[in-house]
Chains A and B, each alone.
Chain A
């Protein structure tokens, strides 16, 4: 099991550019999540999904979009990147009582 994988690990974007952060899990988990972590802070929920075709907003969804066409994949789309989206992005999936986190994507918008 690879667990939760994320690509890329690092990315620098210019203001106004768009990109997709990829997330894949091989544990057949229905529940998946995207969080962001700003410097010195805890994680905040951006979007989540309870299964293929079902997504919903979390605490900080503005500027992001998600899709869930398969159980395994849960990509996060940034449209028109802004400096406020500079952060570390974590994808996670849920089973029983533990969330499994991916290694994170460090994004800088300049």
Chain B
């Protein structure tokens, strides 16, 4: 069965530092997609970044990059130069058949000044 694991319930980082949020996944399907979403305290789900299983390069979107290690089945999110507004819950998710997403339990990121 497909599964997403986020082992860090909470992470703390200072402004302007980089932080890595861990995500491992399990699937037997050779074609899959991996996603990261941000959920601030207001509750909406904000799409951050996507990595396809056949993509040769790691995905990047501004200050977000996805460290994709296929053999290790990991898809860690790296946020560079953290900002106070990055404080939120972060979810790793994997696309299964018919487009539905399987989510991890999330990591709460707290950025301090």
Contacts and interface: CB of A to CB of B under 8 A. Distances in A.
Contact of A58 (B4, B43, B93, B100): B100
Contact of A42 (B43, B91, B100): B91
Contact residues on B (Cβ < 8 Å of other chain), bracket: 20 to 34
Interface of B: 4, 33, 35, 43-45, 47, 50, 52, 91, 93, 95, 98-106
A53 to B, nearest CB: 15
Contacts of B95: 97
Q: How large is the interface on A (under 10, 10 to 19, 20 to 34, 35 or more residues)?
A: 20 to 34
A74 interface: no
For the residues of A in contact with B, the DSSP-based class is strand
Q: Say what secondary structure dominates the interface of chain B.
A: strand
B25 to A, nearest CB: 13
Interface stretch (A12-20, A62-70, A75-83, A99-107): A99-107
Contacts of A101: 44-45
Interface string A4-37: 0000000000000000000000000001010100
Nearest to A94: B99
Contact of B43 (A31, A41, A103): A103
A41 B47 contact: no
A103 B100 contact: no
A48 B52 contact: no
A97 B63 CA distance: 20
A99 B50 CA distance: 11
Contacts of B99: 31, 33, 48, 94, 99
